[in-house]
Chain A
Amino acid sequence: MAQAVFICVRSNDLRPEDVSNLGALAVTAREAGLTPTLVVVDLEDTDKAPESVPDVFDSAIRVAAPNGAGDGAGMIDALLASLLEERSPALVVATTTLASRNWGPRLAGRLSAGFAGAVDRLTNDGGLFVSEPVMGAMLHKKVKIDRPFVALYAGEDLASPSATTELPAATDPQLASTGPRLTKRVALPDTGGLPLKGAARIVSGGLGVGSAENWARIEEFASRVSAAVGASRAAVDMGWVPSSRQVGFSGQKVSPDVYVAIGISGAVHHLAGITGARKVVAINKDPEAPIFQIAEVAIIGDYQAVLEAAHRKLDQA
């Protein structure tokens, strides 16, 4: 029977939810008539990585990336191609990350497979389909998987199959990789440190913040209320904040309990990143800003004055 191969790249950045999602997607693949199998790839630092996987796979193997592979962007496709070529998988699934967006399309090229990098749905519906948003999330594209395909999943966290099982046994590390040589990893100049993914509160800034100096106010406030810092594409383009903080169609999709949008107009491609937010609070000088149409709390005014007042209130508490 045709295989659906699920790739679980283990590192200290791997969330248990990412592993559950692969399990849930494997159940859908099985319902569509494919045999789900699991390939676990261990990167260097895995001491905090999940230690179990959903018990839904017919078989599982585990390989170690060579030392110096970093996040695997430069070599996982080569590592997997040799493993997968003999299996001729009908479908390969992994989680969307900056690294998999590098090795994923390369793997698709090596397997002569189709590719989708931000799948939000895998459906079994008279055939197996992947769907992903396109055109700044204005449209949804649905592709029928009737030939080999590599899909990276970037959708919401799925209800996980409850039974789990241990990781397969580790194998010896692979030989040194060819291709680009990783020489240095420099930690990102991060802002407050709270990751966007999974954050309950996010304070996000846009062009209306006004300047790089003013950006500090966004970070201060976010830190004060234990929120992760996000940004619109415009703020990233201005160089005020690294692109890892970008929320939107081209950036992170977030689903916090509260999303505070400061100086963000609310263009469609930004809104595409926050459809999962339970409550949106928007602060903007422009009463016509589209963001107000989708905000539960609309604050029209000067964000600096509002944040100063907020800090005062918190000082008094």
Chain B
Amino acid sequence: MNILVLIKKVADPNLPSQFVSVAADGRSIELHSAAQFTINQYDLNAVEAAIALKEARGGTVIVMTADDASADTYLRRAVSMGADRAVRVDSAAGAYRDPEALATAIAGAIREVGIPDLILAGRQASDTDAGHIPHAVAVKLGLASLSPLVSLEVARDGVVVAGRLSDNSIDEYEVDLPAVLCVSNELNKPRMPSLKGVMQSKKLPIETVAAAVSDSKPFDVTYAKKDGTRQANTVTYDKCSDDEKAAALLAALGV
């Protein structure tokens, strides 16, 4: 089973708010030079799912990202977990600002490497929380897409059973492959890379694909820092007894 996993480099979701600001013209986000980055956490679940399927059924796993070379370290992380190939769609750092162009670039790159049996991605990225691009890519490739998945199993050749989280239920779908599936953290616990995996990831060349050009124009977007955080007149219960603390809790609840 050949699988392709889409990953994204994002700013550390626990970045202090002082590290995040907006350019003077309001048209872009600026991060403090000390800001840390990471692989989008849900994407790790997607990589783990791909490796587990490969271990069970054979095949290859390609990990792909659309970004500049600073994202290579996250491709290597996926390789150290067991991915076989790493492909970077060479995109300027600001490509995320135009989702249409980004989806065009990724869909083009997937066609170039060859549409696999299964495309996996995280359900949403922690910077935008949009969960947009994998579905946009699916539509461009003429594939079904489901999100967010909490279970995934192969039913038979060419068909998987995907458990999708709904508001009150987990809904199981039979999905004909190829398809795009976006996973949630309930799906699995991503493995820690083995030493051998880490060594291999250092040696593997990162393949690059030029981004397919789209004639889309980005939308007119501005950013602003959120209005001030709530101010509370805090009453504190610290040195008093548990009974007094409990009384305060119940009083606040109105019971």
Q: Is the CB of A105 within 8 A of B131?
A: yes
Complex alpha-carbon distance, A269 and B128, angstroms: 12
**Smallest beta-carbon distance B117→chain A, Å:** 15
Q: How far is the CA of A251 from the CA of B253 in the complex (A)?
A: 23
CB-CB under 8 A for A306 and B223, given A267-B14, A300-B236: no
A102/B147 contact (C-beta < 8 A), A114-B99, A142-B224, A146-B220 known: yes
Contacts of B233 in A (CB 8 A): 296
| Of the residues B171, B172, B237, contact of A73 by C-beta under 8 Å | B171
Asked if B164 and A295 sit within 8 Å, CB to CB, the answer is: no
Count of CB-CB pairs between chains A and B under 8 Å: 253
Q: A70-B171, A135-B29, A225-B255 are in contact. List 19 more A-B contacts (CB 8 A).
A: A13-B167, A73-B146, A74-B146, A112-B100, A133-B226, A138-B20, A142-B221, A249-B129, A258-B253, A267-B14, A283-B245, A283-B249, A297-B237, A299-B236, A300-B238, A305-B242, A309-B243, A310-B249, A312-B246
Contact assessment for A71 and B186 in the assembled complex, using a CB-CB cutoff below 8 Å: no
Identify 19 residue pairs between A and B in the complex whose beta-carbon atoms are under 8 Å apart, listed by A's number.
A73-B146, A74-B144, A74-B146, A134-B127, A136-B127, A139-B223, A140-B224, A149-B219, A180-B179, A186-B169, A186-B172, A225-B253, A225-B255, A243-B165, A287-B238, A295-B234, A297-B237, A301-B242, A313-B246
Known: A13-B167, A236-B185, A297-B237. A250 touches B126 (CB 8 A): yes
Interface positions of B (Cβ within 8 A of A): 11, 13-15, 17, 20, 22, 29, 99-100, 103, 124, 126-132, 135-136, 138-140, 144-148, 150, 161-162, 164-176, 179, 184-186, 219-226, 229-238, 241-243, 245-250, 252-255
CA distance A249 to B128 in the complex (A): 10
Residues of A within 8 A of B253 (CB): 201, 225, 227, 258, 260, 281
Whole-angstrom CA separation of A98 from B184 in the bound complex = 12
Classify the secondary structure of B's interface with A.
Answer: mixed
With A74-B144, A106-B138, A298-B234 known as contacts, the answer to whether A99 contacts B166 (CB < 8 A) is yes
Within the assembled complex, what's the spacing in Å between the Cα atoms of A146 and B129?
23
Residues from chain A with Cβ under 8 Å of B174 in the complex: 180-181, 183
The residue from A109, A135, A250, A271 contacting B229, defined by CB atoms under 8 A apart: A271
Asked, given contacts A105-B136, A306-B242, whether A186 binds B170 with beta carbons under 8 Å apart, the answer is yes
The 8 lowest CB-CB distance pairs between A and B, nearest first, are A109-B139, A309-B246, A105-B135, A180-B173, A144-B220, A310-B246, A184-B172, A309-B242
Q: How many Å lie between the Cα of A78 and that of B3 in the bound state?
A: 26
Q: In the complex the two chains form, is B139's CB within 8 Å of A297's CB?
A: no
Residues of A within 8 A of B (CB): 13, 70-71, 73-74, 97-99, 101-102, 105-106, 108-110, 112, 114-118, 133-144, 146-147, 149, 179-188, 190, 201, 225, 227, 236-237, 239, 242-244, 249-250, 257-258, 260, 267-269, 271, 275, 279-281, 283, 287, 292-302, 305-310, 312-314
CB distance from A289 to the nearest CB of B (A): 12
Cα A114 to Cα B138 with chains together (Å): 15
List of B residues within 8 angstroms of A116 by Cβ: 130
Which residues of the other chain, A, contact B234 by a CB distance below 8 angstroms?
292-293, 295-298
B168 touches A297 (CB 8 A): no
Contacting residues, chain B, for A244 (C-beta < 8 A): 165, 167-168
> How far does the alpha carbon of A280 sit from the alpha carbon of B234 in the complex, in Å?
10
* List of A residues within 8 angstroms of B173 by Cβ: 74, 180-183
A115 to chain B, nearest CB (A): 5
**Whole-angstrom distance between the alpha carbons of A305 and B162 in the complex?**
42
Identity of the chain A residue whose Cβ is nearest the Cβ of B226 in the assembled complex: A140
Contacts of A257 in B (CB 8 A): 254
Of B99, B136, B219, B249, most A-chain CB atoms within 10 Å? B249
A99 and B176 alpha carbons, distance in the complex (Å): 20
Q: Which A residues lie within 8 Å of B169 (CB)?
A: 185-188
- B226 pairs with A138, CB closer than 8 A: yes
Assuming the contacts A73-B166, A74-B173, A105-B136, asked whether A118 and B129 have C-beta atoms less than 8 A apart, the reply is: yes
Q: Which residues of A contact B14 (CB under 8 A)?
A: 267
Q: How far is the CA of A314 from the CA of B243 in the complex (A)?
A: 12
CB distance from B109 to the nearest CB of A (A): 17
Complex alpha-carbon distance, A286 and B144, angstroms: 47
> Would A135 and B237 count as touching, CB distance under 8 A?
no
Enumerate chain B residues within 8 angstroms of A142, measured Cβ to Cβ: 221-224
- Tell me, rounded to whole Å, the shortest Cβ–Cβ distance linking B242 to chain A: 4
Shortest CB–CB separation between residue A267 and chain B, in angstroms? 6
A271–B230 CA distance with the chains assembled, in angstroms:
10
* CA distance in complex: A136, B40 (Å): 13
A145 and B91 alpha carbons, distance in the complex (Å): 26
Whole-angstrom CA separation of A3 from B211 in the bound complex: 34
On chain A, the residues within 8 Å of B20 by CB distance are 135, 138-139
Residues of B within 8 A of A243 (CB): 148, 150, 165, 184-186
Contact call A297/B13, Cβ cutoff below 8 A? no
Q: How far is the CB of A111 from chain B (nearest CB, A)?
A: 10
Residue of B nearest to A134 (CB): B128
**How many Å from the CB of A240 to the closest CB on chain B?**
12
Docked CA distance A242–B238 (Å): 32
**Would you give the shortest CB distance from B232 to chain A, in whole angstroms?**
5
Q: Which of B144, B232, B243 contacts A280 (CB 8 A)?
A: B232
